[in-house]
Chain A
Amino acid sequence: MNNLASKVSRQLQQIPKSGIRDFFELVQGREDVISLGVGEPDFSAPWHIREAAIYCLESGNTAYTSNLGLLALREEISTYVQRYFGPSYDPKTEILVTVGVSEALDLAFRALLNPGDEVIYHEPCYVSYSPSIVMAYGKPVTVHTRLEDNFALRASDVAAAITERTRVIVLNFPTNPTGAIEPVDELEKIAKLAVEHDLIVITDEIYSELIYDDTDAAKVPSHTSIVSFPGMRERTILLHGFSKAYAMTGFRLGYSCAPNILTDAMMKVHQYSMLCASIIAQKAGIEALRNGAAEVENMRHEYALRRNLMLEGFARIGIPCFPPGGAFYLFPDISRFGLSSRDFAFRLLEQESVAVVPGTAFGVSGEGCVRACYATGRAELEEALVRIERFVKGLG
């Protein structure tokens, strides 16, 4: 058969290849690379969580679970979400366990969008938002955040993007790739816009435990989610998971909390496509929520120290970088060196074998910046800084 490309759906053909892909190929062939290009913790999942997964297998628990997920897990999620985010969700009807936030996001778009419906999201952002919207036949509407605002989102920019066709606003704070957090007053304004225009908000809270105080690494700042504002619980789909805070990326476990009607709609897609999340991951998730808080804090504290180390390093080298309030990324401004983000990243890899991800992989507004992940051992971070310093000195 010839011309197989034409057999691929037109909808999918519109989606460009991931900007991160060619860079990944380049890095993969090389040894001696220090990678600040990862998007996951360097820790393994805490042992007691892994042990719970082993126990699940040992005791022969290898069957499907309820489509919504194990009730015991949903109950733990309900308790946790209420404590950390505020609102309470009925574990029987308003919580859906998914295969990571990625699946939950896809479910939400497919559950909500009619062809041509507009979804507002902020860039630079995680690479899957726009493609997921397109795959659900929606229209992605980008609002750009700015370096001058430390990549916080201006409510006025959101307001300007709202049209008759707008159905959904997607938020992700702390943000991948910038580490930005949203000031509470702007968040409140966005909440008011959502209420006023009767919009659904999808909030991706995957990094919400990884937040830092600028002066005291041991202090855990408070986190505010848009769902906690008046009128928001009934129009918010809160997405969260275990990947980042519990270092459980490979378990692929996430969840959605939303009013019953929305949960039901997402559940319809989930039951016919995924059926349920792996029971092993779900058992591990129960253990994580019951007994994982201390380990989460240990890891958060370690990230806080590394963040300080990297911020100090960039300051010493003379690369401007705002102190991001969350996640485990820095998004330094490399524009002064007269190279595009892409060229900077490629040449840094070529010359010094340090991998950072070009800011443009996360949207055009990432131009001028690169993403440097500090979820890597301190010794490697120190060495990366030495190499980056040598590299930028060579740029003159």
Chain B
Amino acid sequence: MIDPILEELQRNSRSTPEELAKLFHLDAAEITAKIQGWEADGTILGYHAVIDPERAGHTGVTAFIEVKLTPEREGGFDRIARRISKFSQVTSCYLMSGGYDLVVVVEDVNLRAVAQFIAEKLSTLEGVLSTSTHFQLKVYKESRFTIQGESHSGRLPVVP
């Protein structure tokens, strides 16, 4: 099971050590030490805001690219997957079960830029057999946040 403090940070990375201390009946200093430990050993990779791209006026495009690979004799898919991950357009990269090997999530300024990345970089890599690209049309839920929030229940202010 993952540490509940880590879970809490995963939900809201802005929680301060002081706030977490109150929630977990711990010392703020202990919490700070834990977080620093996770940052140092790579358990916490980073922090970001989860945004609604439409509201934020995001005009770029996001593509989900299925990639088929030839596994290497030593190292399987790791070397090539890591290589693909390093491109700055790639926001996520997962090894998958099923009909293809990788899902590569790519964000770029426009369709042309994504197409160029695929044509020039991705599909020319040694070991890449084929790609199939799906463009994202609309976001309904992002990192656990639904875009259209719920009209919250009209609770009565005082209930026995």
Contacts and interface: CB of A to CB of B under 8 A. Distances in A.
Interface of A: 18, 20, 23-24, 27-28, 33, 35, 37-40, 42, 44, 126-128, 176, 214-215, 217-218, 250, 301, 305-306, 308-309, 312-313, 355, 357, 361-362
Contact of A20 (B1, B8, B24, B160): B160
B4 to A, nearest CB: 5
Contacts of B22: 308-309, 312-313
A312 B25 contact: yes
B135 to A, nearest CB: 28
B23 A38 contact: no
B120 interface: no
B4 A218 contact: yes
A44 B155 CA distance: 10
Interface of B: 1, 4, 8, 22-25, 150, 152-153, 155-160
Contacts of B23: 217, 305-306, 308-309
Given A217-B23, A217-B24, A305-B23, A128 B160 contact: yes
A75 to B, nearest CB: 30
A172 B118 CA distance: 65
B157 A127 contact: no
A42 B150 contact: no
A252 B160 CA distance: 15
Given A44-B150, A218-B4, A355 B158 contact: yes
A40 B155 contact: yes
Given A44-B150, A218-B4, A301-B4, A27 B24 contact: no
A44 B158 contact: no
A217 B160 contact: no
Nearest to A316: B22
B94 to A, nearest CB: 24
B158 A217 contact: no
Contacts of A126: 160
A27 B4 contact: no
A250 B158 CA distance: 15
A37 B158 contact: yes
Nearest to B8: A305
Contacts of B160: 18, 20, 39, 126-128, 176, 357, 361-362
A217 B4 contact: yes
A224 to B, nearest CB: 25
A24 B156 contact: yes
Given A27-B158, A355-B158, A44 B25 contact: no
B159 A37 contact: yes
Contacts of B155: 35, 38, 40, 42
B148 to A, nearest CB: 13
Contacts of B4: 217-218, 301
B153 A27 contact: no
Given A20-B158, A28-B157, 13 more contacts: A20-B160, A27-B158, A28-B158, A37-B159, A38-B157, A40-B155, A214-B25, A301-B4, A305-B8, A308-B23, A312-B25, A361-B160, A362-B160
B151 to A, nearest CB: 10
A40 B158 CA distance: 10
A362 to B, nearest CB: 8
Contacts of A38: 155-159
Contacts of A20: 158, 160
A361 B152 CA distance: 28
A110 B25 CA distance: 46
Contacts of A23: 158
Contacts of B159: 37-40
Contacts of A215: 25
Contacts of A218: 1, 4
Contact of A27 (B1, B8, B157): B157
B153 A24 contact: no
Contacts of A42: 153, 155
Nearest to B151: A44
B147 to A, nearest CB: 15
A362 B8 CA distance: 35
Contacts of A35: 155, 157-158
Contacts of A24: 156-158
A336 B108 CA distance: 63
A41 to B, nearest CB: 9
A28 B22 CA distance: 31
B25 to A, nearest CB: 5
7 contacts: A44-B153, A126-B160, A217-B23, A218-B1, A301-B4, A309-B22, A357-B158
Contacts of B8: 305
A295 B34 CA distance: 27
